[in-house]
A and B are shown apart, each in its own frame.
Chain A
Amino acid sequence: MAKYTVKIEVRFKPGVLDPQGETIKHALFNLGYDNVESVKTGKLFWVELESNTVENAIQTVRQLADKLLANPVIEDFEVVSRK
C-alpha cells in the first residue's frame, strides 16, 4: 500500500449556465478586461488515499467523484494529476 494524492477537477457541462462565471466576467469587463470572452468556474479536489496501485487509486477517486463530488446532471469531472 502506498499513499497517493489524486487531483480532480469538477466543472459545469457545456451548455449549463454558470452564474458565478458570468458575474466574474462582468466584473473583469468593468476592470477594463474587455477582451475576456468567457469565464467558467469549477472546483478542484485533492483526495489523499491509500491504495496498492496508482490505477486503483484513480479508479476509487473516479467512483467517489461520480457519487459525491460531481452532480452528473450539470457537472463533468476529470482526473487532472496524481502523485
Chain B
Amino acid sequence: MKFGVVIFPGSNCDFDSYQAIKTTAVGDVCYLWHGSTSLNGCNVIILPGGFSYGDYLRSGAIARFSPIMRAVVDFAKKGGLVIGICNGFQVLLEVGLLVGAMRKNLGMRFVCKDVYLKVENNRTRFTRKCPDGKALRMPIAHAEGNYFADEETLKMLHDENRIVFRYCDKKGDINPENNPNGALENIAGIINKEGNVLGMMPHPERACERILGSEDGRFIFESIVAERVE
C-alpha cells in the first residue's frame, strides 16, 4: 500500500499524517503537492488537517478547486480510498464526495482537546480493526466541526449506516455534554455510499504513539491495510 498525503497551502497536519504512516508501518508514504495533477501511484489518499488557503471564504471551499483535487475526485469515483481528516473532511464536503456541510462550532470556540469516539460502524474499510464497543480516544482541533445535513440527507446516512463516528464519553455513551462543537447528533465522521471515502474531524494521525497519549488512531490506519472481511 502506498499512502499519499496532499499538501495544500496552509495544511499543517501533513507531516503528522506522514509520520503516522511511518510509525504504524502500514505502507509507503509520499507527499502530493496541491498543484500536481498526478497521484503518483498512491492507493490511499490522505487529505490532512490544517487551514488550507487560510480557511478563506469557508474551510475547504478553495482547496476543492486545487488541481490535485480533480485527480482525487477521479480516483475516488473509481473506488480509490480517500480519508479526509479535519480540514480534509471539510474539503471532502465542499467537493461533494461526502454529504452535508460544516458550520462554525456552537459556542464559537476553536476546540482543541482529546475526545472519545464511538465507532458506529466497524465494518467499513477504515474501521474494521476497531474493537467492538471500544470508545476511541483521539484529539480534535477545529473551529468548524459543527456538522449539518438536512433531514432527508440525515435519514439517508442513517438508513445506509454511513455515520461512522459519534462523539461520546469514556464509556461510549452519546449525550449532549460530550458534543464538543454542536454537530448534529454528535456526528464526528461519515462515509460515502460506496464506502471508499471517509471524513472525520478527530485526528487519528495524532494518536498513534503512546507518548502522544493514545494509540487508538492506529486502528484506523491498520483497518485501511487489513485484509478485507466481508
Within 8 A of A (CB), among B71-100: 93-94, 99-100
Indicate if B108 sits at the interface (CB-CB under 8 A): yes
Chain B residue contacts of A17, Cβ below 8 A: 103, 106, 146, 148, 182
Contact in complex: B57, A68 (CB < 8 Å): yes
Question: Which of B61, B99, B105 sits near A71, CB closer than 8 Å?
Answer: B61
Indicate if B65 sits at the interface (CB-CB under 8 A): yes
Chain A residue contacts of B149, Cβ below 8 A: 73
Alpha-carbon distance between A18 and B42 when the two chains are bound, in angstroms:
39
Chain B residue contacts of A23, Cβ below 8 A: 107-108
Question: Which of A16, A19, A73 sits near B107, CB closer than 8 Å?
Answer: A19
Alpha-carbon distance between A69 and B62 when the two chains are bound, in angstroms:
10
Indicate if B101 sits at the interface (CB-CB under 8 A): yes
Contact in complex: B148, A68 (CB < 8 Å): no
Contact in complex: A19, B182 (CB < 8 Å): yes
Alpha-carbon distance between A18 and B61 when the two chains are bound, in angstroms:
18
Contact in complex: A20, B94 (CB < 8 Å): no
Alpha-carbon distance between A16 and B102 when the two chains are bound, in angstroms:
11
Indicate if B2 sits at the interface (CB-CB under 8 A): no
Within 8 A of B (CB), among A1-49: 16-20, 23
With both beta carbons as reference points, the residue of chain B lying nearest to A24 in the complex is identified as: B108
Indicate if A74 sits at the interface (CB-CB under 8 A): yes
Q: How many residues of B contact A (CB 8 A)?
A: 21
Secondary structure of the A contact surface, majority rule: loop
Within 8 A of B (CB), among A45-83: 68-69, 71, 73-74
Cβ of A65 to closest chain B Cβ, rounded Å: 11
Q: Knowing A19-B104, A20-B104 touch, does A69 contact B148 (C-beta < 8 A)?
A: no
Chain A residue contacts of B106, Cβ below 8 A: 17, 19
Contact in complex: A19, B57 (CB < 8 Å): no
Question: Which of B61, B100, B108, B182 sits near A20, CB closer than 8 Å?
Answer: B108
Contact in complex: B58, A71 (CB < 8 Å): yes
Contact in complex: B101, A73 (CB < 8 Å): yes
Chain A residue contacts of B99, Cβ below 8 A: 73
Contact in complex: B100, A19 (CB < 8 Å): no
Contact in complex: B148, A74 (CB < 8 Å): yes
The contact sample of 19 A-B pairs, CB cut-off 8 A, is A16-B148, A17-B103, A17-B106, A17-B146, A19-B103, A19-B104, A19-B105, A19-B106, A19-B146, A68-B57, A69-B57, A71-B58, A71-B61, A73-B93, A73-B99, A73-B100, A73-B101, A73-B148, A74-B103
Q: What 8 A-B pairs are tightest by C-beta distance, nearest first?
A: A73-B101, A74-B101, A19-B104, A23-B108, A19-B106, A71-B101, A19-B108, A71-B58
- A residues sitting closer than 8 Å to B (CB atoms) are 16-20, 23, 68-69, 71, 73-74
